[in-house]
Amino acid sequence: MNLILWRHAEAEELPDPLSLSRHADLQRPLTRRGRKQADASAAWLRAHLPSGTRVLCSPALRTRETAAAFSSHSEVVGDLAPGADVSAVLAAIGWPQGDEHVVVVGHQPWIGRIASLLLAGTEMDWSVRKSGIWWLTSRTRESEAQTVLRAVINPEFL
């Protein structure tokens, strides 16, 4: 399985009085800069992934807008919402036996925690840049399950 973790691009900030509202947080759109980030990351993904790649995203507007830069056919998955539990995310995407290629558009801190769990064996708060991409592959070698880091793409390099 090729798992592409893609953090949402830059989104509008919440005004302070609304910062505690979960509904308001889920409705934050991308900024102009965020749309440019999403477009650049999506172009890189299109150059490296087959057409028809499955795209899953959180219910948050910023992830749906980020995913839309790559595909008009993304699936909204409630288990990918902000603050999601790593085990729930991995179950929702079917790691490691899921579809051959899956792009998951989501949030910190769970994207960094998934990367650390799959690569280092423990959940740590690894930082993933907005619109950053981490491409992980599962494989079996000599009867041992392994996770391979194929690419880390930061938006400032696109």
Neighbouring C-beta atoms of residue 134, cutoff 10 Å: 24
SS in 3 state form for 58-117? CCCHHHHHHHHCCCCCCEECHHHCCCCCHHHHHHHHCCCCCCCEEEEEECCCHHHHHHHH
Averaged pLDDT, 110-131: 98
Q: pLDDT tens digits, residue range 28-76? A: 999 999 999 999 999 999 999 999 999 999 999 999 999 999 999 999 9
Query: Under 8 Å CB-to-CB from 70, ≥6 apart: which residues?
Result: 38, 41, 42, 45, 46, 55, 103
pLDDT of the residue at 16? 67
Q: How would CATH label the architecture of 2-157?
A: 3-Layer(aba) Sandwich (3.40)
Query: Under 8 Å CB-to-CB from 43, ≥6 apart: which residues?
Result: 158
Region class of 12: left (phi > 0), else alpha (psi between -120 and 50), else beta: beta
Inter-CA distances, 70 with 92, 126, 127, Å:
20, 25, 23
Averaged pLDDT, 74-80: 98
Q: In whole angstroms, what separates CA 120 from the centre of its chain?
A: 18
